[in-house]
């Protein structure tokens, strides 16, 4: 390798340039830190010591001393909103928007934050206006998501459907499930007003949006059943098996009653027995249990539950088995079994719940729309013990 004398000059030169650059950066950092108000560092210290109220007051002082601290305005506004002080958040973001020197991207950010403030404050018309203004900006997607939330709060299902269509185009992701539920809500409104044709039309649109919409199918069957077209209702409810068989327990009682109305109770029981064999379910077993007790007596019901308990051992199943045994037991032998059943039943009250897969909220009844997190179809139509038992397997 040849060595040239000029290299002796290059190395010191590069070293000197790096040293000068580092000194400039350090000087700039020191200059900027000296230019910040003392309140800024006090605020940081309060934050580190988890003294939020004192930190906020310190940062407000910074904003008053130096109005150019744009990011601090945004940070304070967001903090106010999270703390529930929406009025202060609104004032903070309005002050930003009214500044004539505010850059366009910062103005859009301020509008987006202000729209969220209005949404949290329940001033929905102003929130809607601002979110709509943000269409065509970098905040369009997020604004549409907030609009979807807003229209659901207002129960404006027509606009909610329109937003799902726009979101699908913008994001490339399907919103079919949500749209189907919104059509179902429209159908429920028409049905309540006895506009049967309108309800059927909305349910047809729900199934067009999402062919697997069990709720739409159930509602169609309910309409036929209310019109005393029991055979039609049975045919529609049976479609649930092909859409998603885990929802069959939700239509089991409906099916059995429709068969009874036709004078074909045995056919209804046979159908539910077939479902139970293929799709084990505690709720399905409970419906069958009551039907078998009425038709064939306690012993037959006991055998049904015993067979299901052997296949899927659960405390809920044991509770039903003890109930079946008590029905066929003389008074002198009931006390011990009743005591055991009461103990088991107390325990099963905590297990016989539906649980939201999204937020974990538990309820005794099944919801299509979670009352806690407001997610659609987040409840599995199975009791919590069944889900836990399947997970262990």
**184 is known to lie in a ligand binding site:** no
Burial of 257 (0-12, 13-18, 19+ CB in 10 A): middle
* 3-class secondary structure, 369: strand
Cβ atoms of 357 and 378 closer than 8 Å: yes
Q: How far is CA 316 from the centre of its chain?
A: 28
Question: What distance in Å separates the CA atoms of residue 118 and residue 302, rounded to the nearest whole number?
Answer: 59
What DSSP element (H or E) covers 95?
helix 86-97
* Pick from 170, 187, 169, 178: nearest CA to 151: 178
**373 is known to lie in a ligand binding site:** yes
**359 is known to lie in a ligand binding site:** yes
State the Rg of the chain over Cα: 33
Cβ atoms of 351 and 315 closer than 8 Å: yes
Residue 349 phi/psi, 5° resolution?
Answer: -60, -30
Q: What is the DSSP letter of 376?
A: B
Burial of 156 (0-12, 13-18, 19+ CB in 10 A): middle
* 3-class secondary structure, 240: helix
* Pick from 269, 365, 385: nearest CA to 318: 385
What token pair was written down for 44? 């940081």
Question: What distance in Å separates the CA atoms of residue 61 and residue 356, rounded to the nearest whole number?
Answer: 45
DSSP E strand boundaries for 21-83: none
What token pair was written down for 203? 């349910």
Question: What distance in Å separates the CA atoms of residue 228 and residue 187, rounded to the nearest whole number?
Answer: 19
Question: What distance in Å separates the CA atoms of residue 1 and residue 123, rounded to the nearest whole number?
Answer: 77
Cβ atoms of 352 and 364 closer than 8 Å: yes
Residues forming the annotated binding site? 356, 359, 370, 373
Residues forming the annotated binding site for Fe cation? 356, 359, 370, 373
């Amino acid at each position: 390798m040849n060595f040239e004398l000029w290299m002796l000059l290059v190395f010191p030169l590069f070293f000197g340039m790096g040293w000068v650059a580092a000194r400039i950066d350090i000087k700039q950092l020191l200059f900027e830190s000296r230019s910040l108000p003392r309140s800024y560092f006090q605020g940081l210290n309060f934050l580190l010591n988890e003294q939020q109220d004192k930190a906020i007051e310190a940062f407000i002082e910074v904003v008053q001393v130096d109005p150019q601290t744009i990011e601090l305005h945004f940070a304070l506004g967001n903090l106010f909103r999270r703390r529930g002080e929406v009025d202060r958040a609104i004032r903070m973001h309005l002050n930003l928007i009214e500044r004539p020197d505010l850059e366009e991207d910062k103005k859009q950010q301020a509008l987006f934050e202000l729209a969220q403030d209005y949404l949290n404050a329940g001033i929905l018309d102003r929130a809607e206006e601002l979110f709509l203004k943000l269409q065509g900006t970098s905040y369009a997607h997020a604004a549409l998501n907030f609009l979807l939330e807003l229209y659901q709060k207002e129960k404006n299902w027509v606009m909610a459907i329109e937003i799902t269509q726009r979101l699908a185009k913008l994001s490339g992701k399907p919103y079919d499930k949500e749209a189907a539920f919104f059509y179902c809500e429209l159908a429920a409104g028409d049905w309540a007003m006895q506009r049967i044709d309108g309800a059927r039309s909305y349910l047809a649109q729900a199934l067009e949006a999402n062919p697997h919409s069990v709720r739409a199918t159930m509602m169609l069957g309910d309409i036929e059943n209310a019109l005393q077209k029991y055979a039609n209702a049975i045919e529609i409810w049976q479609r649930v098996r092909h859409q998603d068989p885990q929802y069959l327990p939700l239509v089991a009682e409906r099916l059995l009653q429709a068969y009874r109305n036709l004078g074909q109770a045995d056919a209804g029981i046979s159908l539910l027995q077939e479902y139970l064999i293929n799709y084990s379910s505690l709720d399905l077993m409970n419906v069958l249990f009551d039907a078998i007790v009425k038709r064939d007596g306690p012993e037959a019901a006991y055998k049904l539950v015993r067979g299901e308990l052997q296949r899927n051992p659960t405390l809920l199943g044991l509770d039903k088995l003890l109930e079946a045994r008590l029905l066929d037991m003389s008074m002198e032998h009931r006390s011990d079994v009743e005591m055991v059943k009461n103990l088991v039943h107390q325990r099963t009250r905590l297990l016989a719940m539906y649980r939201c897969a999204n937020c974990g909220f538990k309820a005794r009844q099944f919801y299509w729309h979670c009352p806690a997190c407001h997610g659609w179809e987040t409840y599995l139509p199975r009791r919590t013990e069944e889900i836990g038992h399947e997970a262990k397997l």
